[in-house]
C-alpha cells in the first residue's frame, strides 16, 4: 500500500472520492481538488454561467478570445510594492505597479514556488516541479532542462490559435531541445541564466575584491577547467527556425546586460503587440523580466526617491516605467479591455547580496517554504472585466495561471489527460471577485520533499512524527502571516483533513518523470 510522507494511504483517498476518482476528464486535477469540487458543485455551476456570459459577450465585441499577458518578475518580496507598504517608503518607488493594482485586483495571498526555476516550471506546465523531475535552480553548464514531453501553456494556447511569444529569463535549460522556440513559442528573446553570471567576469576583473564573486577565475580559465563556455548569454528563437545568439551588450554577460536586455525587450514587446493587435487571432505574452537581479539601472540610479545603495531599487524604477509603456500600448491599440494582464513575483527576496536586495515583512526568503519565500505580490488588470479596487482574501498558486489561461482560451481540452495538472482554473476569482477562488489548499515543496500544507486558514509545517503524534506545527496564517506562533495541539481538529488532502501522487525519477497513481 503506497503512502505519502504523512502516512495516509492512497486507498483512503479513493474511498473518500468515490465515483469521482474514476471519472474521465480532459484535464486531470489532483484528488483534493476533485473532493472540493464535489462539495462546491452547485455554487460553481451558477458562477460558471455568469463567467460564460461575460466571456461570450467579450468575444462577440472583439471577434476573438482574450489576449493574455503574464509578467513574471524576480525576487520581489511580499510587502515590497507601494500598495503593500513598500514602494517609495523603502526607496523602491512603484507608481505604475500601484496604479495597475488599484485599477484591478491586488492579491495579498498569491503563492509561487520557493525559487526561480521551479516557479518557471510551475507557470509553464501548471504542475509542481516534483512531478517533472526538474527540481533545482539551473546553473551554467548543467544539462538538465524542462522535458520536451511536458506540455507548456504556450503549446496549449498555440494549439488553440494564439500567437505566442516570450521575453526575459528562460532559465529552464540551455540545450536547444529545452528552449522556448521548441516549447510552443512562435518568437522568443531570452537569457539563459539568472543574474549571478553577469557579475562573474566583472568580479574577476575588479582587483579591489569588492565585487560579489571575487574568486571567479575568469572566462578563459573557467572554460579550460570546466568546459563551460560563457560567451553566449541569450538567444533569439523562432518556432521551426532555430535560434541565434543575441548580439551586443544585451547578449553578453556583464553588469550592464540586464538593463540593455530589458530595454530591448520592452521595445520588442510593444512593437509585437501593435502588430498582433491587427490580427484576427489573440496573443499570449510571457514576459519573465530580469527585475530584480543584482544589477542597477543607470537611467534610474540617481532618480528621486530611489535608494542608490540598493542597485535593485533603480532596476525596480526601470521596470515600473516599462510596465507603463506596456499598459499605454494596450490602451492606444484599443485592446486593453480584451487583455488579461497578470503580474507576479517568482519567489521571495534573496538577501545574499544585501543591501542589493528586495525585502519582505514575512519570515523567510528565497529558497524557503516559509511565507517569506513563497508568498509574493501579485496583481491582475483587465479593464471592464476585473472591477477596480479589489483586494480579495482568497489565495491562489502560480500553477493556476496555466489552467486559467487554458480556460480563457477555450482550450482546457488541449491539456494532456495522461498526467495530473496541479493548476486550478481561477477565472471565477478574476471575474467574480472576493470569495470565488477555487482553491482551499496549497502544497509547499522543498525540492522533492513536501514540507508544508496550507488548508483554508491553516498552514502546517511537516516534520517527523514522534511518539505516535503527527509531526505538525499549526499556524493560523490569516492571523499569523509571520508564522511566529505554531503549535500542534490547537490544530488537532485539522489533522485528519490535512492528511486526507495530502494524498499527492508521486513522480517517477528522472527528468522525464511521469506521475504514478495519477488517477488513484
Asked about 171 being catalytic, the answer comes back as yes
Closest among 380, 403, 367, 399 to 504, alpha carbons compared: 399
Which set of grid coordinates corresponds to residue 125? 506546465
8-state DSSP, 249: G
Spatial separation of the C-alpha atoms in residues 371 and 352, rounded to whole Å: 18
Angle at 312 between CA 307 and CA 318, to 5 degrees: 90
Between CA 56 and CA 300 the distance in angstroms is 43
Question: Would you say how long the chain is, in residues?
Answer: 520
Surface-to-core class of residue 519, CB atoms within 10 Å of its CB (0-12 exposed, 13-18 middle, 19+ buried): middle
Which neighbouring-strand residues pair with 335?
A: none
Q: What is the DSSP letter of 299?
A: T
The single residue of 116, 128, 163, 436 carrying the catalytic annotation is 116
State how far the Cα of 239 lies from the Cα of 164, in Å rounded to an integer: 10
Nearest by Cα to 292 from 238, 348, 370, 333:
348
- Among 171, 397, 436, 504, the active-site one is 171
Instruction: Tell me the β-bridge partners of 309.
Output: none
Report which of 114, 225, 118 is spatially closest to residue 171, judged by C-alpha positions. Answer: 118
Taking phi over 0 as left and psi of -120 to 50 as alpha, with beta for the rest, 187 belongs to: beta
Which residues form the catalytic set?
Answer: 116, 171
Amino acid at each position: 500500500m503506497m503512502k505519502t510522507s504523512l502516512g495516509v494511504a492512497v486507498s483512503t483517498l479513493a474511498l473518500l472520492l468515490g465515483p469521482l476518482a474514476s471519472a474521465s476528464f480532459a484535464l486531470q486535477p489532483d484528488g483534493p481538488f476533485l473532493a472540493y469540487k464535489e462539495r462546491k458543485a452547485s455554487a460553481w455551476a451558477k458562477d460558471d454561467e455568469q463567467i460564460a456570459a461575460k466571456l461570450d459577450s467579450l468575444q462577440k465585441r472583439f471577434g476573438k478570445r482574450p489576449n493574455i499577458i503574464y509578467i513574471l518578475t524576480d525576487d520581489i518580496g511580499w510587502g515590497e510594492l507601494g500598495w503593500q507598504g513598500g514602494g517609495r517608503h523603502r526607496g523602491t518607488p512603484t507608481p505604475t505597479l500601484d496604479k495597475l493594482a488599484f485599477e484591478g485586483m491586488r492579491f495579498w495571498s498569491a503563492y509561487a514556488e520557493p525559487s526561480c526555476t521551479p516557479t518557471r516550471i510551475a507557470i509553464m506546465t501548471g504542475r509542481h516541479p516534483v512531478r517533472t523531475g526538474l527540481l533545482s535552480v539551473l546553473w551554467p553548464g548543467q544539462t538538465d532542462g524542462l522535458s520536451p514531453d511536458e506540455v507548456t501553456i504556450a503549446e496549449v494556447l498555440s494549439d488553440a490559435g494564439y500567437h505566442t511569444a516570450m521575453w526575459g529569463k528562460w532559465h529552464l535549460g540551455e540545450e536547444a531541445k529545452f528552449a522556448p522556440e521548441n516549447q510552443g513559442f512562435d518568437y522568443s528573446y531570452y537569457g539563459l541564466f539568472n543574474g549571478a553570471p553577469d557579475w562573474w567576469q566583472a568580479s574577476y576583473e575588479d582587483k579591489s575584491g569588492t565585487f560579489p564573486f571575487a574568486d571567479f577565475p575568469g572566462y578563459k580559465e573557467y572554460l579550460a577547467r570546466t568546459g563551460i563556455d560563457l560567451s553566449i548569454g541569450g538567444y533569439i528563437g523562432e518556432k521551426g527556425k532555430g535560434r541565434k545568439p543575441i548580439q551586443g551588450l544585451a547578449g553578453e554577460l556583464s553588469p550592464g546586460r540586464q538593463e540593455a536586455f530589458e530595454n530591448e525587450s520592452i521595445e520588442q514587446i510593444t512593437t509585437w503587440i501593435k502588430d498582433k493587435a491587427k490580427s484576427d487571432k489573440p496573443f499570449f505574452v510571457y514576459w519573465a523580466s530580469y527585475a530584480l537581479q543584482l544589477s542597477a539601472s543607470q537611467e534610474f540610479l540617481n532618480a528621486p526617491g530611489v535608494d542608490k545603495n540598493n542597485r535593485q531599487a533603480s532596476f525596480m524604477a526601470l521596470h515600473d516605467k516599462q510596465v507603463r509603456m506596456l499598459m499605454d500600448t494596450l490602451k492606444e491599440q484599443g485592446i486593453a479591455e480584451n487583455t488579461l494582464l497578470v503580474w507576479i513575483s517568482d519567489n521571495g527576496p534573496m538577501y545574499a547580496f544585501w543591501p542589493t536586495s528586495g525585502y519582505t515583512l514575512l519570515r523567510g526568503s528565497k529558497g524557503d517554504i516559509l511565507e517569506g519565500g513563497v508568498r509574493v505580490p501579485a496583481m491582475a488588470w483587465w479593464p471592464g472585466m476585473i472591477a477596480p479596487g479589489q483586494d480579495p482574501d482568497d489565495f491562489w498558486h502560480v500553477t493556476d495561471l496555466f489552467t486559467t489561461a487554458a480556460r480563457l482560451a477555450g482550450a482546457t481540452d488541449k491539456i494532456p489527460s495522461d498526467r495530473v495538472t496541479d493548476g486550478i482554473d481561477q477565472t471565477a476569482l478574476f471575474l467574480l471577485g472576493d470569495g470565488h477562488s477555487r482553491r482551499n489548499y496549497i502544497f509547499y515543496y522543498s525540492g522533492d520533499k513536501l514540507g508544508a500544507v496550507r488548508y483554508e486558514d491553516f498552514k502546517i509545517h511537516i516534520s517527523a512524527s514522534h511518539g505516535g503524534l503527527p509531526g505538525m506545527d499549526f499556524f493560523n496564517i490569516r492571523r499569523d502571516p509571520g508564522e511566529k506562533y505554531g503549535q500542534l495541539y490547537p490544530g488537532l481538529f485539522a489533522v485528519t483533513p490535512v492528511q486526507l488532502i495530502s494524498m499527492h501522487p508521486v513522480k517517477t525519477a528522472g527528468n522525464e518523470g511521469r506521475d504514478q497513481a495519477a488517477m488513484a
